[in-house]
């Protein structure tokens, strides 16, 4: 049952096994064995629950609450949006510095042309 829940949670976050394994600091093959029921998951329980922001009991229910899956997907979308905003802000800062440098160059050229 837990293996099935892990797969549903991973898919709800649009993650590959490799991506989730990276987040959990384990190999993809280890995660695959956990998800397929061929590896003990217990020692990874805390990391898994922390990553998905869930209580361990969620993994033991037959069906995941629908709103939880939507919440996971929404959280992932929010994280992606925040990352995009951060990257755009970095680009804006770089462009603002370039504008400042160009304005300084213009001033220098004006001074040289006056002389």
Q: Which residues of 22-49 are buried (b: 16+ CB within 10 A; e: fewer)?
A: ebbebeeeebebbbeeebebeebeeebb
Topology of the domain covering 2-64: 434 Repressor (Amino-terminal Domain) (1.10.260)
DSSP assignment of 18-59: HHHHHHHTS-HHHHHHHHTTSS--GGGHHHHHHHHT--GGGG
Which of the four pLDDT bands, split at 50, 70 and 90, describes residue 84?
A: very high
Tens of pLDDT, residues 32-75? 999 988 888 888 899 999 998 888 888 887 665 555 566 666 77
Mean pLDDT (the chain) is 86
Least confident of 19-23, 53-57, 86-90: 53-57
- Please identify which residue in the block is written with the tokens 């993650």: 15
Give me the pLDDT at residue 56, please: 86
Domain residue spans in the chain? 2-64
């Amino acid at each position: 049952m837990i293996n099935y829940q892990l797969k549903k949670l991973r898919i709800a976050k649009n993650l590959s096994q490799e991506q989730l394994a990276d987040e959990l600091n384990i190999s993809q093959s280890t995660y695959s064995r956990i998800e397929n029921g061929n590896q003990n998951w217990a020692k990874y329980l805390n990391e898994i629950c922390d990553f998905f922001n869930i209580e361990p009991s969620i993994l033991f229910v037959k069906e995941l609450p629908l709103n939880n899956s939507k919440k996971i997907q929404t959280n992932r979308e929010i994280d992606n949006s925040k990352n995009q905003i951060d990257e755009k802000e970095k680009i804006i800062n770089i462009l603002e510095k370039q504008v400042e440098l160009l304005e300084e160059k213009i001033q220098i050229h004006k001074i040289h042309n006056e002389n």
